[in-house]
Structure 1
Amino acid sequence: MAMDELHSAQQSLLFSNGGDNNKNKIRKKGIFGSLAKWILKFTMWVIFVLWVAMFCVVPTDLGSDLYDDWIDATSGALFGKTGSALLLYSGPIIMIAFLAVPYLLLSGEDQQEEELQEKRPPRFRLWTFPVLVEGPFGVVSAAEFIGIILFVVFVLWTLYANAVVNFELLPSYGDLTFKEMSCVILEFVALGFGATGSYLLAFFFLPIARGSVLLRLIGIPFEHATRYHVWLGHLSMLLFTLHGAIYLIAWSIEGHLIDDILEWGNLAGVISLLSGLLMWVTSLHPVRKQKFELFFYTHQLYAVFVFFFAQHAGFHFNSAAGGIFLFIIDRFLRFCQSRRTVDIISAKCLPCGTVELILSKPASNSSSQHTSF
């Protein structure tokens, strides 16, 4: 009897020691995982802040000098100056996308579910606190309102910085007549609008990459992120329209409008602008609501817009290439995963006007033993 009690005590002691060891291993694993997540998150934030700051600094004299130094230091590689500019403008956002993959893997679905299930006391949150309820933007949270203000400040600052740098070049043109001076000033202003619009394209394609790790990283669903694409689209097309219209006015004053338009670089810009205007007009709410198919099929002109924009913008296309690259990868992966035919189980019109479709999916190929595991 005593031997049985001693044996059971030793057995329970062994089990308790093993349980403590497992807990210690889990605790150490959690510490290392949290440290790795913190390092990845900090690195991504640093890269993002430096990336945004670069767009603000490059139009200035200091930024131009730093940009020239970067090009001189890295243009000796295989791809030359284009590769250097592409690495500078598009490399950071692509690097963030790559770092987001291990960060999301470390986060894990189970941990995310536990965080959602935790009971948290009510508190003020920028992402959920509404600031604007009625208006052209719809319901706007405090965080979105701050983002709108920052983008407006960014656009105004970029226009101002480009104008200062360009107008400093006026004395180098020598003695000009009033007509010639007016045309040069108009071309400088148009160039500033175009450069600012190309900077906005760096963010333009990021919200509409449905399967992008960036949307999962910041926790914004695709359906909600599309509104950011719409806002950026309106602002970008306004800048591009002003860019093209002012150039047309300047060329008309100079008297060689047709000759300038027929130049390949300018003709590509005209084609890109016309395709963008078609997408812009058909994306307006009355047209999109009543003629959704027209809006959808017209939006496939984005390929024409991007191709001819690259032909027209040349070096400035590097600023938008990163977001376009991530969008193309997402489109390619979704194309490979898509099916030609699908059965619709049910359709329901929600109060907000959105049509909800429930589609069938293929049966699972897993055996019954997977369920037991």
Structure 2
Amino acid sequence: MDEYETPLLSHKESSPPSSSSTVLKWILKVVMSVIFVAWVVFLLMYPGKLGDGLLTKWRAATSNTLFGITGSMFLIFSGPILIIAVLASLYLIISGEEKVFHKKKILKFPRFRLWTFPVLVDGPFGVVSAAEFLGIIIFSVFFLWAIYAFTLRNLALLSLFHVLPKDRSILLLEVTGLRFGMIGLLCMVFLFLPVSRGSILLRLIDVPFEHATRYHVWLGHITMAFFSLHGLCYVVGWTIQGRLLELIFEWKAIGIAVLPGVISLVAGLLMWVTSLNTVRKHYFELFFYTHQLYIVFVVFLALHVGDYIFSIIAGGIFLFILDRFLRFCQSRRTVHVISAKSLPCGTLELVLSKPPSNNSV
């Protein structure tokens, strides 16, 4: 056979992955799964006495090391998700982008899948799959469990103080507000993970960014609901004491600073109101520009709670900021506009020059 009879662009099947890479990928998946499950279990247990006891033992074991008290909190709350992100990067590098996002074969017979099987079609959550419905149930049970566990801890804490009945009610109100704020922080642990457009975690589980944003919306509603209850409890308690104006403008250098918390809550409420479905649909620009207040929200939240508490949510925020920075660097390329034309329907047609390919000779 003549050698020129072979097509220049002949189809060659990709060679199967080596056994070493397969074993390494399997090990990475197991390690990531174990870390994630252990992390989630700890977060679920944290409101109870068992979780608080584990945290106390962890701080006692690590606070005197190089990490310190704040570092120990960062390691147990934010460290696991950062470790998973690093391992996920290694996993995707070994697998290759085209192999991670390969198209699955079309089966002859339908197969039940939790991620695609719809459970709720018409409702406040839109179309909800079986996996999403299971997640909603887990989060709902967690919120009820957290409120119940924190209430028991509040009552046990009040028994240690000998105060008047009126002061006891105010103290219970303030401690309850503190617990609501902690539940809101636990929600914020996951809040920024779905909105990282180039998130390595979303690539790992093969969830499109457009689909993941709905999880951010759900978590945002829940987070702001608990933060609103957090602020309301303190406002009511301080109003009963007659010290509302005195305490609401307080800004301590050490400990909890109230005024930054007020600023953060106001910014969060503005984002929350403008993100409601009706406002977002009819006034999208208002929603978009108001949502840039997330910078104010996060910065003043950090000033409000301090580095020790802020380390609980620092991991997800760090991954989000890293994603924004990388996308900013990638968007610095200049693109030339060849032509612009306004169509009769009101649409603006732009013709852009194609950037040169890196593979061009």
TM range (shorter): 0.7 to 0.9
- Summarize deviations over 1:322-368 as a string: whole Å, max 9, x none: 10010010011111111376559999xxxxxxxxx997641214334
**Percentage of pairs with the same residue:** 57
Aligned counterparts of 2:183 and 2:339: Cα–Cα separation in 1: 46
Question: Which residue of structure 1 lines up, in the alignment, with residue 314 of structure 2?
Answer: 321
Aligned pairs (5 A) from 1:152-301 = 152-174=140-162, 176-264=163-251, 265-301=257-293
Q: 2:59 aligns with which of 71, 78, 89?
A: 71
**Cα drift, residue 103 of structure 1:** 1.0
Q: Give the RMSD, CA atoms, in angstroms.
A: 2.4
- Alignment match, 1:12: none
Pick aligned residue for 2:91 from 100, 103, 123? 103
Match of 2:120 in 1: 132
Q: Does 1:334 align with 2:327?
A: yes
Q: What does 1:27-46 correspond to in 2, within 5 Å?
A: 30-46=18-34
From the superposition, tell whether residues 83 and 170 of structure 1 become closer, same or farther in structure 2 (CA, over 3 Å): same
- Which residue identity is paired with 2:18? G
Deviation at 1:187, TM superposition (A): 1.1
Amino acid at match of 2:285: E
**Cα distance per residue 1:217-266 (max 9 Å; x no partner):** 01000011000000000010011001101110011111211111111111
Q: Give 4+ residue runs of structure 1 displaced > 6 Å after superposition.
A: 344-347
SS in 2 for 1:173: coil
Q: Secondary structure at the match of 1:209?
A: coil
What do the CA deviations read for 1:53-76 (whole angstroms, capped 9, x no partner)? Answer: 111222222222221221122112
Q: Is the 8 A contact 1:279 1:295 kept in 2?
A: yes
* Distance (Å, rounded) in 2 between the aligned partners of 1:157 and 1:211: 34
Paired positions, count? 334
Tell me the alpha carbon deviations over residues 132-153 of structure 1, each in whole angstroms, 9 at most, x when there is no partner: 1111111111111111111111
User: Could you tell me whether the CA contact under 8 Å between 1:207 and 1:226 is conserved in 2?
Assistant: yes
Match of 2:344 in 1: none
- The Cα offsets for residues 13-54 of structure 1, whole Å up to 9 and x where unpaired, read as xxxxxxxxxxxxx66x53222211111111111101111111
Any conservation in 1 of the 2:180–2:230 contact (CA below 8 Å)? yes
* TM-aligned CA distance change 1:90 to 1:112, over 3 Å: closer
In structure 1, distance between residues paired with 2:333 and 2:270: 28
List alignment gaps of at least 5 residues for structure 1.
Answer: 1-25, 348-356, 369-373
Residues 359 and 73 of structure 1: CA distance in aligned 2, closer, same or farther (over 3 Å): farther
- CA distance in structure 2 between the partners assigned to 1:340 and 1:224 by the alignment: 27
**How far apart are the structure 2 equivalents of 1:235 and 1:288?**
18
Q: Is the 8 A contact 1:51 1:92 kept in 2?
A: yes
Task: Evaluate the alpha carbon distance shift between residue 345 and residue 129 of structure 1 in structure 2; reply closer, same or farther with a 3 A threshold.
Answer: farther
Whether the 8 Å CA contact 1:131–1:145 is kept in 2: the answer is yes
* Structure 2 residue ranges without an equivalent (≥5): 1-14, 252-256, 342-349
Shift of 1:280: 0.6
Confirm or deny: 8 A CA contact 2:187 2:219 kept in the other structure. Answer: yes
Q: Secondary structure at the match of 2:119?
A: strand
| Secondary structure of residue in 2 paired with 1:362 | coil
Q: Distance in 1 between matches of 2:146 and 2:131?
A: 22
Quick one: which amino acid aligns to residue 241 of structure 1?
A: S
Q: Please tell me whether the aligned partners of residues 195 and 316 of structure 1 are also in contact (alpha carbons under 8 angstroms).
A: no
2:53 and 2:25 map into 1 onto residues whose CA distance is 36
Instruction: Give the C-alpha shift of residue 112 in structure 1.
Output: 4.1
Task: Give the drift of 1:80.
Answer: 1.7
Give CA deviations for 1:163-190 in whole Å, capped at 9, x if unaligned.
211210112111x322111101111211
Structure 1 position 289, deviation (Å): 1.3
3-state SS, counterpart of residue 332 of structure 2: coil
TM-score, normalisation: structure 2: 0.86
* Counterpart Cα distance in 2 of 1:269 and 1:66: 28
Q: In the alignment, is the contact (CA less than 8 A) between 2:271 and 2:291 conserved in 1? A: yes
Residues 254 and 213 (structure 1 numbering): CA distance in 2 closer, same or farther, change over 3 Å?
same
Distance 1:38 1:340, change over 3 A: closer
Structure 1: how far apart are the matches of 2:354 and 2:294? 30
- Counterpart check, 1:93 vs 2:86: no
Structure 1 residues 106 and 358: alpha-carbon distance in aligned structure 2, compared to 1, 3 A threshold: farther
- What CA distance in whole angstroms lies between the structure 2 residues aligned with 1:336 and 1:219? 24
Write the distance in 2 (CA, Å) between the matches of 1:344 and 1:148: 48
Partner of 2:254: none
